Amino acid sequence: MSSVDDRTQPELRTFGPFAVEDGKVRLLGVEIGDWGALLALVVSIATFLWTVTDKLLLHPIPQIVAPQTVEFWCAHWSKTDKGEVCDSDENLLVRAGPVSVVNRASAPHSYVLDSITTEVALLDDRGTSKKSVHLTWQYFSEISISDAKRTPAAPLLVEGGAAVAKEIEFYPRLEIIAGPKGSAPVADRRNFLKFVDFKGLIGTGAVREIRLTFNASTLGKKILFSASCSIPVDDQFVSNAKGPFALFVRDCTPGARE
């Protein structure tokens, strides 16, 4: 009888940090079980990494889409023999629609839209600003031939993978700025442009483009995003601005988006 143990030793195979011996899998020298146990471990690690990435690294992706149509109008006007004329103290207002806000991230990465403002820039043929005003959303509106419904503009929830479209009315607001040291704050009315003055600028023919930039922001962790569109001021627009009109409706061509 031989005293030497001639039984076959289990074969040890290695694959990087993994080793397989007698059907058992080891990771860095630690036995984790058979192939089924290894698969379960891999799935658990992948699930953990996806959860961490989804919760900590992925965020809402907000986007705003500029409107197709823009209306320049005033809130109060009078009917005359020549047509409708805005009251002399009425300011320029803007109605834009539809303005769409989009969330390009998947659920559940929602965000709350805090506000939208628009910068209305009147540009000459060289792109130089002749006048610029900032207007703030005031109402969501639904205007039809027979009726007009308005609700105050307020923050909106935009779910992941969803979009919200609104017709929005923009109004000027006072800007409160600090006065000289020791004096009271000053109310700045730079964004109040009389409708008659708006018509006057268009009617001179010096303005060749109206560029509107829509700036939006999210509530909480503030994210800023914007989109713009442009309206050419053609001869017909110039001619109409000289007439008795209290409303101008124009198509707006999409421009840059940020």
Q: Label residue 59 left, alpha or beta by phi (over 0 means left) and psi (-120 to 50 means alpha).
A: beta
State the 10-residue block means of pLDDT for the chain, 258 residues long: 51 51 53 56 59 58 96 89 86 96 90 97 95 97 71 95 96 87 85 96 96 96 95 96 93 82
Neighbours of 227 (CB within 10 A): 22
Beta carbons within 8 Å of 238's beta carbon, 6+ residues apart:
202, 203, 204, 205
Q: What is the pLDDT of residue 26?
A: 56
Q: What is the pLDDT of residue 256?
A: 62
Q: What is the pLDDT of residue 81?
A: 82
Q: What is the pLDDT of residue 48?
A: 54
Distance CA 246, CA 193 (A): 14
Q: What is the pLDDT of residue 151?
A: 94
Sign (positive/negative) of CA torsion 160, 135, 250, 84?
positive
The model's pTM is: 0.76
Neighbours of 160 (CB within 10 A): 16
Tell me the C-alpha to C-alpha distance, in Å, between residue 117 and each of 62, 95, 99: 16, 12, 11
